A and B are shown apart, each in its own frame.
Chain A
Amino acid sequence: MALKIVKGSIDRIFDKNLQDLVRGIRNHKEDEAKYISTCIDEIKQELKQDNIAVKANAVCKLTYLQMLGYDVSWAAFNIVEVMSSSKFTYKRIGYLAASQCFHEGTDVIMLTTNQIRKDLSSPSQYDTGVALTGLSCFVTPDLARDLANDIMTLMSHTKPYIRKKAVLIMYKVFLKYPESLRPAFPRLKEKLEDPDPGVQSAAVNVICELARRNPKNYLSLAPLFFKLMTSSTNNWVLIKIIKLFGALTPLEPRLGKKLIEPLTNLIHSTSAMSLLYECVNTVIAVLISLSSGMPNHSASIQLCVQKLRILIEDSDQNLKYLGLLAMSKILKTHPKSVQSHKDLILQCLDDKDESIRLRALDLLYGMVSKKNLMEIVKKLMLHVDKAEGTTYRDELLTKIIDICSQSNYQYITNFEWYISILVELTRLEGTRHGHLIASQMLDVAIRVKAIRGFAVAQMATLLDNAHLLTGNAQRNGICEVLYAAAWICGEFSEHLEDPLHTLEAMLRPRVATLPGHIQAVYVQNAAKLFAAVLCGQEGAPADSQTAQETSQLLIDRLPLFVQSADLEVQERASCVLQLVKYIEKLQQKQVEVGEEVTALFTGELNPVAPKAQKKVPVPEGLDLDAWINEPPSESESEDEKPRAVFTEEEPRHSRQRHPEADEKELARRREARKQEQANNPFYIKASPTSQKGYQDAPGVDHIPVVQIDLSVPLKVPGMSTSDQYVKMEEERRQKNKADKKKKEKKKKREKRGRGRKGDSGPESEEEDITPAHMVDIVTEEMPENALPSDDDDKDPNDPYRALDIDLDKPLADTEKLPVRTHRPPEALKSPGDEGGGVSEEPKKKSKKEHREKERKERKKSKEDKKKKKHKRDRGEEPEEAPPEEPVQSEIIEVAAPPSTTSVEASDLDFWLSTAPAAPKTQEAEPAAAAPDSAPDAGPDVAPPMSNYSLLAENSYIKMMCDIQGNLQDGSQVVVSIIFENKSDSFLKSMEFNVLDSLNAKLQRPEGAGPHDGLTVPFQLPPGVSNEARFVFSVQSIIMPQKLKGTLTFIVKSEDSSTHEKLDFKLHFTCSSYLITTPCYSDAFAKLLESGELKGSSLRLEGVSMPFHHLLARICFHHHFSVVERIDSCASMYSRSIQGHHVCLLVKSADQTVSIDARCDETSLLGNVLDEIKLTFSQC
């Protein structure tokens, strides 16, 4: 044994350590692979030894090799060994190796569960930390499920170092094991208010990430985040929160309104570019979500655009890029504000950095108007000429086409100009986008009837000069335009001046060098031209000779195509050749054939909308998924590809009945169809995306792109340049304008008194531009009774979809994190009881209650804000409380489920509405609601409620107030007061003042004296209410106290204004210092065991309400949460703002309720108990 150790240690001296390995690799540059393979052999030897230090060293080296790209998966088990070393040095290396090398498929991960669990609960925080870090990289669904509970416990660890890590890793756990989200969420939310800023920021991170994917489930957290946003100074946290709001605002426009102000303030004040950029982005998102009819936000837009301009003008390329990027977002909704910066954006086109140029191009897309299109395109054409590098040039080309063709050629006023632009673009030799130009030519020629004559003439010239296009690079992408040219000339041959000449051009021997599909079109359209020649010349007997000559021409030239290697060409050529030969025979017999030949090609083809086929309704009784023949036998399909044994069921996609068998085939067919459509001029590629797909078609990709640098740009002779049109167009517009002005002058004289809009200048000018010719854009054909179809289904494979979970629902009985089963279940301490402590029946019920409540709320939001009566059908709830109960009306307001989340959810509406909803406050007064709702209201009819209670009232104003402790600052209490104007006059200059006591002081702004009042930051028009918050600093919270105060205000009616005042008494109860804090039973048990808490008790007689009502009432009025409930016995917990724990044990039997309470502060406890007593004595 000793010898073995000696040997191991001596080996160790000679072992290479990591540094040696690295050095070695650097010294063996020539035969690196060989050197490393010897190293790996050594490592294998080292791994066989028992000495853990040797192993760790080996694993460390392996980790390095893994990074160099070597496979080390064979050592996975050794890594686990090193991970489980008791020494931190080795453990650290083990976990590092694991986090670099393990992935979901690594099977030894299964073995690590217990080791990780052990490390997580290690007394050393660094052991725990290292395990958490490692886990974050290789967590699998199994690990997530098994360890979720352990990690959740760590979220409440005493050390912030661990809490922080545990919170962050929960996000990974949620992703892998979505079921854990709901049980863990309350604690995660709690961490938003953790005393440690690092933990807080971690929690913000996680919730923001969650909310970004599924924002709607997190709307109820908006007030909390709002508070964090206005109080936090940490830019990292701010950025996350602001990003989160960006995701929330589309769902709740009211939130957007609330955000604008703080965000613009931040934009003004911050010096951090990252924060500024985030704010601008979110403001943009907010403005997009708000309806366009919000003129008062133009200031915010202006601010954003200004700031972005500064970014773009910055010399830092990064800022420039981001500025352009953000600008393009504004462009979508507020194009006007961006258009005024056209100069700047055009300037960016000259930037050295290609990515910036591309961004600027994106922006141009949205900036064009009828007025500036020609000018912008002209600029771009200049850039095309200058551009070095085909990629950028191609990008320019596609952008030009995108810009011109957007929204159905909306901005093109002169199609002759556009056609000549397209023709000019054919000069680009190296481009890959011949297809794109071709499809544009076809599209325009087919859909704009007025332009056909011009287009045909241009195309004929193109065909005539085809040699310039094809050049020596015969497989050049640009020759695709010949496809379009040939087709256009053939189809609209009636516009040709000299069809015979064009026909001749199309049958030149050189054509045979073109790609097959183009030749095929040539042949087919040669036939059309032939028909046109015959028809045009027919009737004039002198021309029968021309006809015969034409036939002869075809008969001479076509054999070349008959020999083509391309099937399509061959077939068409043979057909046409035979046809012509037959015609020639007839011609020799002097038979008139013109009409008959033309008849072959009559009839116009109309364009078909891209999705037309999909929208054809399926006739009744036709099942497209049914097999027409017997399905192929099992064995056959198994031969083709292995079948998954367990196919995932997707009940929603009932149409994918036979997906495995068909999907490949379908994809293949789809591809084939796309290919076909791409080459079919009757398919319109409307969206730019489909065009892109089309460019990427495999047929084009492999074509080698030869770049030719031509010093002199090619000019196709005899062709008008687009510049001419720009000039012409300008002249035309000038003339039009002059005409218009004359007319307008007349009009103006008539209209002067009516007050025309001042700022509509450019707009109206734009509308004035009339197209050069009456353009009739043929719309795409749709089948009759086409069904509207959803274009973008959500991706079913989105990993974040599983996390779309409603978090406001109370936890159900079955929802708890799996806990190791071999641990003996203890009645109170087991963490497994967390969710399950409450017996099943009431839980179910509370769920029902909640659902009911939600329904109610929805209803409520639809209705107005006035007070309403509760009508409900009796039969709905069998468990309803008996009607003879004396305290019904009270119960209505207390029966909310005892969770903070739901209270907040119902408060969201309140928070968002600037004018508080009246019913809530009304219902807070028992007397008001009692008579209406008492008879059959059960626990389920809890309306959204709030804690607001009447503070003071006179004939002018009513004040309702709610007092709550501030969790973040133990000495602060926030008093929210709703001021409601009851009079018919305007209330202004409201001043709120309180006589401070030694213990509680109103926080006044700096510089204000101790007796100065605070100005209420708003005025109240008649009938309006609004809320203001006041912060009090409190020293001791163990005693309740009352503060006297006065509100002074000016009542301003039409003729007079009077000074009025209203006295009030603010009552700070001890309960208002308590904050609802969820507590888990294990922590609760520990608290009680610790022995630091002092006890007290209370007995209430004659309480006849059901037990759960009683609990709800304590929760609601005194801010407790239920820890656990068993039959008619429950434990409850709350915490004061200064961190006192208050624990209650509530038992109920025969109308008697006994409360045993414990707290680390006796007088606080006594006061709370008194308050509880008071609450129940009021019943």
Chain B
Amino acid sequence: MQFMLLFSRQGKLRLQKWYVPLSDKEKKKITRELVQTVLARKPKMCSFLEWRDLKIVYKRYASLYFCCAIENQDNELITLEIIHRYVELLDKYFGSVCELDIIFNFEKAYFILDEFLLGGEAQETSKKNVLKAIEQADLLQEEAETPRSVLEEIGLT
């Protein structure tokens, strides 16, 4: 997979993950172009389109579009499956996820994606394992955070 984009029906980018090195300018250009093309497609159309020398696989979940770019020999259906898995993961993690969850916790959405895909390849196909890794990492984070309240930090306790 070359990159993954999440954007809203209004064309606002919600998440982007690039697995190929590109300059910011190029990324912006691609994003703009793809958002336009995908949004222009009618709801009944198939989820694949050929774009430059890549294949774009996208799927709409509620108000969010999930859009992946894969190479020519890659399997479109498994890419749809990846998108679906990711949505399921988000759903499990946030508990019936909505667009706002992703907007306000965008770093979490990234962390989940990073546990699921690495370098554009699926690294863990078991949903349970991904969530377990995320939960444990979150735990680690909370342990580090909670014991030190602001007051403690100042030294007032």
Contact = CB atoms under 8 A, between A and B. Distances in A.
Contact of A69 (B18, B28, B153): B28
Interface in A208-261: 209, 212, 234, 236, 239, 243, 246-247
Contacts of A202: 121, 123
A88 B141 contact: yes
Interface string A7-42: 001001100001100100000000000000000000
A237 B145 CA distance: 39
A18 B110 CA distance: 14
Interface in A351-370: 352-356
A67 B119 contact: no
B111 A92 contact: yes
B104 to A, nearest CB: 5
A685 interface: no
B20 to A, nearest CB: 9
B73 A169 contact: no
Interface in B34-60: 42, 44-49
A273 B76 CA distance: 10
B92 to A, nearest CB: 19
B150 interface: yes
A1163 interface: no
B13 A103 contact: no
A353 B80 contact: no
A515 interface: no
Contacts of A246: 73
B13 to A, nearest CB: 6
Given A22-B103, A168-B118, A278-B75, A96 B123 contact: no
A6 B154 contact: yes
Contact of B48 (A236, A354, A355): A355
Contacts of B155: 2, 5
A353 to B, nearest CB: 5
B125 A201 contact: yes
B75 A92 contact: no
A409 interface: no
B75 A89 contact: no
Interface in A149-205: 161, 164-165, 168-169, 171-172, 198, 201-202, 205
Contact of A198 (B19, B104, B111, B123): B123
Contact of B119 (A13, A126, A172): A172
A136 B46 contact: no
B150 A354 contact: no
B16 A19 contact: no
Interface in B84-131: 103-104, 106-107, 110-111, 114-115, 118-119, 121-126, 129
A67 B150 contact: no
Contact of A5 (B19, B76, B111, B154): B154
A274 B119 contact: no
Nearest to B80: A318
A1096 interface: no
A379 to B, nearest CB: 22
Chain A contact residues: helix, strand, loop or mixed: helix
A280 B115 CA distance: 31
B64 interface: no
A710 interface: no
Contacts of A411: none
Contacts of B115: 133
Given A105-B23, A124-B140, A353-B46, A239 B78 contact: yes
A317 B44 contact: yes
A68 B125 CA distance: 30
A138 B110 CA distance: 15
Contacts of B154: 5-6, 9
Nearest to A235: B78
B141 A169 contact: no
Contacts of B157: none
Given A6-B154, A92-B111, A239-B78, A354 B118 contact: no
Given A318-B47, A318-B80, A89 B73 contact: no
Interface string B1-26: 00000000000011111110111100
Contact of B13 (A67, A169, A239, A353): A67
Nearest to B103: A22
Contacts of B48: 318, 321-322, 355
Q: Chain A CB within 10 Å — which of B24, B42, B45, B121 has the most?
A: B121
B150 A12 contact: yes
A63 B109 CA distance: 13
Given A234-B125, A355-B49, A5 B153 contact: yes
Nearest to A237: B125
A317 B45 CA distance: 7
B144 interface: yes
A18 B123 contact: no
A88 B144 contact: yes
A205 B46 contact: no
A205 B111 contact: no
Contacts of B124: 164, 198
Interface string A332-362: 0000000000000000000011111000000
A161 B46 CA distance: 36
A133 to B, nearest CB: 4
B58 to A, nearest CB: 11
Contacts of A6: 154
A71 interface: yes
A172 B2 CA distance: 12
Contact of A164 (B14, B123, B140): B123
Nearest to B16: A67
A103 B21 contact: yes
Contacts of A88: 137, 140-141, 144
B136 A355 contact: no
B46 A274 contact: no
Contact of B121 (A205, A247, A278): A205
B30 interface: no
B17 to A, nearest CB: 8
A145 interface: no
A64 B106 contact: yes
Contact of A321 (B46, B126, B136): B46
A354 B45 contact: yes
A161 B133 contact: yes
A19 B104 contact: yes
A235 to B, nearest CB: 8
A172 B117 CA distance: 13
A569 interface: no
28 contacts: A5-B154, A5-B155, A9-B153, A13-B150, A18-B106, A64-B106, A67-B106, A92-B141, A126-B140, A133-B115, A136-B118, A136-B119, A137-B18, A164-B124, A168-B119, A169-B118, A171-B121, A172-B119, A198-B126, A205-B121, A209-B121, A212-B73, A274-B81, A278-B78, A317-B46, A317-B47, A318-B80, A321-B46
What are the 3 closest A-B residue pairs judged by CB atoms, nearest first?
Answer: A274-B77, A317-B46, A321-B46
